[in-house]
Amino acid sequence: MNKIIDIISIISLQGGWIFFMLLSYFGIRYEGVGESNLFIYFWGIISSFAIIMLSKKILHRRLSKAFLYAILTIFIMTFMFVISGMRSHRFFYAFIAMSAPSTIFGVYFAENRLVYKFPKYFFWLILYSLYPLAISYLSDFGDRSRFNVISGWSTLGLGYGSASLFIFLYYYFQNKAYFEHVGISPVKKGVLKIFKNNIVIVFSMLFVLFTAIAVGSRGPLVSIIGSILFIELFKDGLNIKLLRAIIATAILSIGLVYVIRNMQVDAFRGAFSRINMLIEGIIGGDVASASSGRDSLYKIAWNHFTDHPFLGLGFAGFIKKYNGYPHNIVLEFLADYGILGSSIWFSLFIYIFKPLFHNLKRNPEMLLFVAVFMIEVFGLMFSNTFLNSYILWFYFGYGLYMRFGENNKKKATGLVPHL
DSSP string, 15-74: HHHHHHHHHHHHT--B--TTT-SHHHHHHHHHHHHHHHHHHHHHHTT---HHHHHHHHHH
The rounded Cα 356 to chain-centroid distance in angstroms is 15
Contact yes or no for 50/390 (Cβ under 8 A): no
**99-115 mean pLDDT:** 93
Percent of the chain exceeding pLDDT 90 equals 26
Q: What is the pLDDT of residue 63?
A: 85
Q: What is the pLDDT of residue 396?
A: 96
Q: What is the pLDDT of residue 5?
A: 87
Residue 241's pLDDT band, with cuts at 50, 70 and 90, is low
| 215/137 Cα distance (integer angstroms) | 11
Q: What is the pLDDT of residue 265?
A: 47
Domain boundaries, the chain: 2-412
Q: What is the pLDDT of residue 313?
A: 92
pLDDT tens-digit map of 197-230: 889 998 888 888 877 777 667 778 788 888 888 8
